[in-house]
Amino acid sequence: MSFEVDVRALAAAHADGAVVVDVREPHEYLTGHVPSARLIPAGELRARVHELPRRERVHVICASGSRSAAAADWLTRVGFDAASVAGGTEAWRRAGHPVVSGPREATA
């Protein structure tokens, strides 16, 4: 089973170049996402798991934390070090962290 991190822990990890995977749908991602977050919708995760690094933690985020918890649990079961971000992108925004709109995985 994976574990959960809060947005403060994600912010610290993000500053160090953490891998962030956004499992929301493309239209959700376009409206605002964590800078550098890679979009892999939950429904595509199994088919695209090979795109993720196995040697570093994968921070999984969605809108509020439900989809990311399920995705992080699955990633953990298949051998990844995965953590779900509690409260998701909404908590990230509420905490005042930057978001990027549009399709790019822009860096902060």
Residue at 70 is within a domain: yes
Find where tokens 């409260």 sit. 87
Active site residue 105: no
Nearest to 39 by CA among 30, 12, 92: 30
**Domain assignment of residue 101, yes or no:** no
Q: Which of 18, 62, 72, 91 is catalytic?
A: 62
Closest listed residue to residue 53, CA positions, set 73, 69, 38: 38
pTM for this structure? Answer: 0.94
Domain range for 84: 3-94
Domain count along the chain: 1
In a domain, 31, yes or no: yes
Does the pLDDT of residue 104 top 70, yes or no? no
Answer whether residue 104 is part of any domain: no
Using only C-alpha atoms, the chain has a radius of gyration, in whole angstroms, of 12
| Span 11-40, pLDDT tens digits | 999 999 999 999 999 999 999 999 999 999
User: Domain containing 51 — which CATH number?
Assistant: 3.40.250.10
12 in Cβ contact with 20 (< 8 Å): no
Identify whether 74 is part of a domain.
yes
